[in-house]
Amino acid sequence: MSRRRTAAVVGGVVAVGAVVTAVTVFSLANTDESPTTAGTAPISTAEVTKETLVDRESHDGTLAHGDSTTISARGGGTITALPMEGSTISRGKWIYRIDNKPVTLLYGTLPAYRTLKTGVKGADVKQFEQNLWALGYRGFTPDTTYSWVTASVVKDWQDDLGLKKTGTVEAGQIVYTDGTVRVDSLTVQRGTVVGQGTEIEKITGTSPLATVVLDASSGRLATAGAAVQIELSDGKVVPGKVKKVATLVAKADDGQTDTTKFQATISFDDDVESQGMAAVSVAFTAGQRPDVLTVPVAALVALAEGGYGVQVVDGTATSVVAVETGLFADGKVEITGTGLAAGTKVAMPS
């Protein structure tokens, strides 16, 4: 997996070396006593800025729709209809048909695991009734009890689906997902005779997600909820957040140490058009310094006494001020030094 600091950051660090070798080495004592006159003042200047400096580390990733989930048959029969790959399926629509009967997609986190009929109580009843209500069926109150009123409404629903009006719901008649899904791939063909547990298709969510695999040394960068910057294949940079992080352990052969990596799944803050599977670059925050003084890295000068300074431009004169450097990022460097403040002008190489 490719890892790199943001290009501007790397370029900034190189610039420090360039400054050291390219400029005259200043003596801090001499320059304090004898400021340079306007005749030798530099042509180009930059201002000291107070800002939050963020150091980002970029890793290659893939844009797709996240991990897929398998949909398997809940009973035996012949597959008579399948959705198209890449299509989306929402609540109330069939996800496949078996023996010409629809298996209907509903929303919920609790899988269908038993027959729902009059007298049954539980959280699965309420989840099912909430779906009926969302589909526009009325005449009942969604609760945890499957009453004769529920059964009556179910008959109307079954009639609309072209099913026999039994008033009971078999577990194999419905499939629950977290929301609208996208058909990623089909495992069987129409006309296939399947048994219980046969894989029918794979589904994903409908929103594009970026996936990045990080080595153990970089795993600290990915924490759930952390903000990132994603560069798309067309060069556009958009914000996102780490949605989840999974640990991947690859078993080693011949008694070697197992390899641990971390897979970060990243969602986008704004809508991003699906581009199929594409390469992306994800910039994680490696370091951050809020409300610090910064200058362009190229503004640093080498001091004869050691360390670095900046050449302050004050009207018609310049003087060198020694600085302590902190975080380097985005072509800038954090500095502290006597008399420096936001707005102070410093010399830049011409």
> How many whole angstroms separate alpha carbon 49 and alpha carbon 287?
18
Q: What is the pLDDT of residue 43?
A: 64
Cα-based distances in Å from 340 to 29, 33, 170, 245: 17, 18, 75, 42
Query: What are residue 321's DSSP bridge partners?
Result: 310
The number of C-alpha atoms within 13 Å of 75 and in the hemisphere containing its C-beta is 15
Cα-based distances in Å from 331 to 33, 239, 328: 31, 20, 7
Helix (H) or strand (E) holding 22: helix 7-22
Helix (H, G, I), strand (E, B) or coil at 23: coil
Q: At CA 89, angle to CA 85 and CA 95, rounded to 5?
A: 75
Supply the mean pLDDT for the chain: 87
Q: What is the pLDDT of residue 283?
A: 93
Residue with tokens 């991990």: 67
Helix (H) or strand (E) holding 161: helix 148-161
**Residue pLDDT, tens place only, 192-240:** 999 999 999 999 999 899 999 999 888 888 899 999 999 998 889 999 9
In this prediction, the residues of the chain whose per-residue pLDDT falls under 50 are 6-24, 30-34, 38-39, 41
Which domains does the chain show, CATH number per domain? 3-55+288-348 (2.40.420.20), 59-65+207-286 (2.40.30.170), 71-205 (1.10.101.10)
> How many whole angstroms separate alpha carbon 80 and alpha carbon 72?
15
> How many whole angstroms separate alpha carbon 326 and alpha carbon 321?
16
Q: At CA 184, angle to CA 182 and CA 189, rounded to 5?
A: 115
Phi and psi, residue 119, nearest 5° = 100, -15
Q: What is the pLDDT of residue 4?
A: 55
Q: Give the global pTM.
A: 0.67
> How many whole angstroms separate alpha carbon 133 and alpha carbon 280?
41
Write the DSSP assignment of 240-300 as a string of letters.
EEEEEEEEEEEPPSTTPPPEEEEEEEEEESS-----SSEEEEEEEEEEEEEEEEEEEGGGE
**Among 116, 121, 83, 102, which residue's Cα sits nearest to residue 164?**
102
Residue with tokens 């000291």: 48
Rg, the chain, Cα only: 32
Phi and psi, residue 25, nearest 5° = -75, 125
Q: What is the pLDDT of residue 275?
A: 60
Question: Can you read off the two tokens belonging to residue 8?
Answer: 């501007």
Q: What is the pLDDT of residue 34?
A: 45
> How many whole angstroms separate alpha carbon 179 and alpha carbon 106?
8
Cα-based distances in Å from 49 to 56, 275, 308: 19, 39, 18
> How many whole angstroms separate alpha carbon 288 and alpha carbon 274?
32
Question: Can you read off the two tokens belonging to residue 207?
Answer: 């929103």
Question: Are the C-beta atoms of residues 182 and 87 closer than 8 Å to each other?
Answer: yes
> How many whole angstroms separate alpha carbon 68 and alpha carbon 147?
36
**Among 305, 349, 307, which residue's Cα sits nearest to residue 326?**
307
Helix (H, G, I), strand (E, B) or coil at 32: helix
> How many whole angstroms separate alpha carbon 295 and alpha carbon 250?
44
Q: What is the pLDDT of residue 12?
A: 33
